Amino acid sequence: MQYIAVATICLLAGGACAAPAEIKYLNGDDLPKCPADADQAGECIKNIMNELIPRLRKGDPDLGIQPYDPFVIDRLSFQYSSGAVSGRISVRNVKLYGFAEHKIEKVNVKLDGDKVKLRIVSQLPKMNLLGNYKAEMLVNSLQLKPKGNFNVTLFDVENRVVTDGEFYNKDGRRFLRIKDIDVNPKIRDMIIKANGIFPDPELDELALNVANSYWRDIYGIILPETRESWAPIMLRLINEALTHVPIDQFIHGPE
């Protein structure tokens, strides 16, 4: 079950994996082999993940794993609509810091033939996102076109990831393909900094004071509204990474 280790890195990193031109496979000779029984595999996978996350923070070109602390997002756009607010926002040159401090708390694996359900709970003390943004917003009848820099810090992040997948065979090897993913991060606190919301810096400061006072409402709107933008990208990158992880060489059978 060690194949889930690399998958979990990609899941928690928001898809920090991309396939290289030549397919190579994960070599886990210095890592324990996990039991084939799903009920016993969770603790083994958790321990492997807590070793691999800091070890691979600088990436692995052979496996297509990019450095993920910071994790860089070149560009991402999404649309949203909630109540009186609607619009489109694009972010560029985003750097995400803190992922290498992730701690996996629990892994649960359920098998049903070739079907796999994976549940992961992890903790992250602090995550910082820096980048540029550009937006077109409609607030009631007021049109805004803000652009500038942003700096968002999340504190005490609890990630809950649920995936559904299936096994498949290729070139005499067995692999895992993720079919669906649901990510539900919860945070204790968030600090939002940005400029360019309004031409007047004083209005910028007022808007940020409001945003930081009602960050829970903002967070609750943005997360589900943007899922259609980032979830398919994450799913594609995870599956590209999983082409490097043949399952059977990382599982030991019953003693």
For the CA atoms of the chain, what is the radius of gyration? 20
pLDDT at 131 over 90: yes
pLDDT bucket at 255, cuts 50 / 70 / 90: very low
Lowest-confidence segment of 89-93, 127-131, 184-188, 232-236 by average pLDDT: 232-236
Per-residue confidence (pLDDT) for residue 18, from 0 to 100: 52
Per-residue confidence (pLDDT) for residue 10, from 0 to 100: 53
pLDDT bucket at 113, cuts 50 / 70 / 90: confident
Residue range 119-139: mean pLDDT, rounded: 91
Instruction: Provide the pairing of β-strand 173-183 with 147-170.
Output: antiparallel
Is the bond into 224 cis (omega within 30 degrees of 0)? no
Residue boundaries of the structural domains of the chain? 3-252
Amino acid identity for residue 249 in this structure = Q
pLDDT bucket at 26, cuts 50 / 70 / 90: low
pLDDT bucket at 21, cuts 50 / 70 / 90: very low
* Dist. CA 158–CA 185, nearest whole Å: 6
pLDDT at 93 over 90: yes
Could you report the per-residue pLDDT of 160-205, keeping only the tens digit for each? 989 899 989 988 888 889 899 888 889 999 999 999 988 888 988 9
pLDDT bucket at 119, cuts 50 / 70 / 90: very high
pLDDT bucket at 121, cuts 50 / 70 / 90: very high
Instruction: Provide the pairing of β-strand 85-97 with 71-82.
Output: antiparallel
Cα distances (Å, whole numbers) of residue 108 to 11, 164, 166, 171: 15, 12, 16, 29
pLDDT at 147 over 60: yes
Could you report the per-residue pLDDT of 35-85, keeping only the tens digit for each? 777 777 888 878 878 887 888 788 777 777 778 788 888 888 888 777 777
Could you report the per-residue pLDDT of 190-244, keeping only the tens digit for each? 999 999 988 888 988 998 998 899 888 878 877 777 777 777 877 877 787 777 7
Q: What angle do CA 229, 231, 235 make, to 5 degrees?
A: 135
CATH number listed for the domain at residues 3-252: 3.15.10.30
pLDDT bucket at 25, cuts 50 / 70 / 90: confident
